[in-house]
Amino acid sequence: MHFQENIAGMDCLTTWDSPYRLILQAAMLIPISHYLLGAFFVVLIILYNFFEIHFLEDLFTGFRGQPVHLAFNPSSHVYRVVGYKCKLLHSRYLSTPWICSPHFQTAFLSFFGNSPVTKYRRQLFKLDDGGTLALDWLMHSDAAPDNDAIPRDTKKIIVIVIPGLTSDSNSSYVRHLVSMMAKRGWHVVVANHRGLGGVSITSDCFYNAGWTDDIRKVVDYIHSQYPEAPLFTIGTSIGANMLVKYLGEEGTNVPVIGAAAICCPWDPLLCDRFINRRLVQRFYSKVLALGLKGYAKLHQMVLSRLADWEGISRSRTLRDFDTYATRIVANCATVDTYYRRCCSALYLENVKVPLLCINASDDPICTKEAIPWDECRENRNIILAVTKHGGHLAYFEGIMAKSLWWVRALEEFLFVLHSSPLSQREKQKQMTQVPSSISPQKSSKRIDDAPFVSVKENGLVAANGNGPINKNKFENKISDTEWKSEEARNAKDYPENGELSPGEAEALLDDGNDMGMVPVRRRKLPNHDEFCY
C-alpha cells in the first residue's frame, strides 16, 4: 500500500514539468503562418518607431494635420502687419499620407521630388579672389521672345535663393521654389555655391556653413544693377545658416526688403552631435559625406593642395569630411571651432529686416534642440514657424505629393510683406543705400556678355579671362558691421483696425531693438573675414 503511494508520488514529481511540455506541444500545433504573421507585426512596430512614422497619429486626428507653432515678439509689428495676415502660418500642416515620415519625405524629395521643369538662363559671376559663381535666372515669363536680358523689367521683384550644402539650381526643392516665385510674377536668381552647378573652382577659396562673403557680393551686385527692384533673399538648410549670419553681420546695411530661412541648422555643433546619435541619423551623415566626397573629387586638383586629401578619401561621416577638408580651408584649428564660428543663432539679435524662419521638429538632419525660440521672440523683426512634421526641406502635401507646404507659406509671406506698409520703409532705405562691396564700374546685364565660358572634358564650366570681365570685379575691402546707437523710442498702441500708414510703419518698426532700448553689442561675434583668408 505504502509502496503504491510512493509510486504515485514519484509520478507527480515526474509530471511536474509537464506544463512546459504541454505548452511546447501546444505551440507545435500552431501553424507556422501565425508565427510569421506575429513576427511581421513585431518588425512592423519596430520599423514604425524607427522611421518615426505618424500615420496612426494622423488617422486618429482625422487627417486634420498638426497646428503650426509660431514664436514672435509680442510687440512685433512685422507679425501684426504681415504674419497675422498669412493664413498658412495659422493653419495646419498635413503631410502626404503615404510618406508620413520625416525620413520618407526627405528621401522622396531627394530621389523623386515631383519638381516642375524649369528653364534657367545662366550668368557667370566673377569674384575678386578669382572665384566663379553661377547665377541661374528664372524670369517671370520664359515664353516671351528675345528674353535673354537679365532681367528686362528693372522694377520687378527679384528673389535671391541660397541653396543647401550640396544643392544647386537643379535640386528638386529649389525648382519647386523658383517655379512658385516665377508664377507669382517675380524674377528669381539661384546663387549656386562655388564649385556647384557645373562650374569649376577657379580660386583657392571654398564655401562653408559660415562663409557669407559670396552672399554679400551677390546681393550688392544685383542691387547695384537693379536699384529700383525690391530684393528678397531665401536661404535653405546650410544656405539659411549663411543667410542669417550675413543678415546679422550687416545689420541695417543690407539692401533687401525681407528674407526667409528654411530648415536652418542654427547651431552646427548641436546638429553634429544629433546626426551621430542614432543609427538612422548616422545614415544621413554618411550620405552627406558621400555627396561632399563627390564634390571634392570634381575639384581634386585644387582641394588636394589645400586640405588633407588622404583624410578626405577615408571620410565616412560629415564630421570626418569637415575635419580633413572644411575646417582646414576655413582656417579653424578644430572642427568644433569651425562649428561654433558658424552658429547663426548668435547673429539673430542684430537682424534688422523682416525674417521668416521655418523649421520642422522632426527634421532628421537639423535637430529641434538647436531652434532658437527665445532669440526669435526677442527680435521684433523675426517670425519663427515650427511644424511638428515635415522632414528636411520636404513638407510634401496632398495625395499626389505635388507641392511643398513651406514653399506656399513662404510665397504668401513675401507677397503680404511686399504689399504691406512696412515694405515702404525698406524700399526707401534700399533706394538710398550704396553697396559697400561693389566697385563703381558698371557690370553687364546680359548673358551674352563676359565672362565667356569653356567646357572641359569632365563637363565642368570654367570662366575665361577677357577684357569685359573686370566689370564684374569687386573692391577688396569690405566694411565691417556698423553698430549704431539710437535714442529709445516708446512703443505706440497698434490701431484697432490692424492697419498702419507708411508713416506709422516707419515710426513703429525699429532696427531690431526689441525691447525699446538702446542697442548694445553684447558679445564679440566672429568677423566674416575670418574664413578662407
- Annotated catalytic sites, by residue? 237, 363, 392
Q: Residue 24: what are its φ and ψ, rounded to 5°?
A: -65, -40
CA distances (Å), 94 to each of 58, 478, 530, in order?
Answer: 8, 45, 43
Which sign does the torsion angle of CA 6, 8, 10, 12 carry? negative
332 is written with which cell numbers? Answer: 579653424
Radius of gyration in angstroms for the set of CA atoms belonging to the chain, rounded to a whole number? 28
Residue appearing with cell numbers 525674417: 355
Q: Say if CB 242 and CB 228 are below 8 A apart.
A: no
CA 438 to chain centre: 27
Secondary structure in 3-state letters for 418-471: HHCCHHHHHHHHHHHCCCCCCCCCCCCCECCCCCCEEECCCCCEEECCCHHHHH
At what angle are helices 172-183 and 405-419 packed, to 10 degrees?
A: 30
345 class by beta-carbon count within 10 Å (0-12 exposed, 13-18 middle, 19+ buried)? buried
* DSSP state letter for 61: T
| Own/partner long-range contacts of 394-397 (Cβ < 8 Å, ≥24 apart) | 394/102, 394/105, 394/106, 394/108, 394/109, 394/173, 395/93, 395/95, 395/105, 395/360, 396/95, 396/96, 396/99, 396/105, 396/108, 396/109, 396/114, 397/93, 397/94, 397/95, 397/96
Dihedral class, residue 195 (left if φ above 0, else alpha if ψ from -120 to 50, else beta)? left
Q: What is the DSSP string of 483-514?
A: ----------PPPTTS---HHHHHHH--SS-T
Q: Say if CB 307 and CB 332 are below 8 A apart.
A: no
Q: Say if CB 461 and CB 454 are below 8 A apart.
A: yes
* Residue among 414, 451, 239 nearest 342 (CA): 239
Residue appearing with cell numbers 564660428: 341
Terminal CA-to-CA distance of the chain, rounded, Å? 105
Q: Say if CB 74 and CB 378 are below 8 A apart.
A: no
145 is written with which cell numbers? Answer: 521672345
Q: Say if CB 253 and CB 426 are below 8 A apart.
A: no
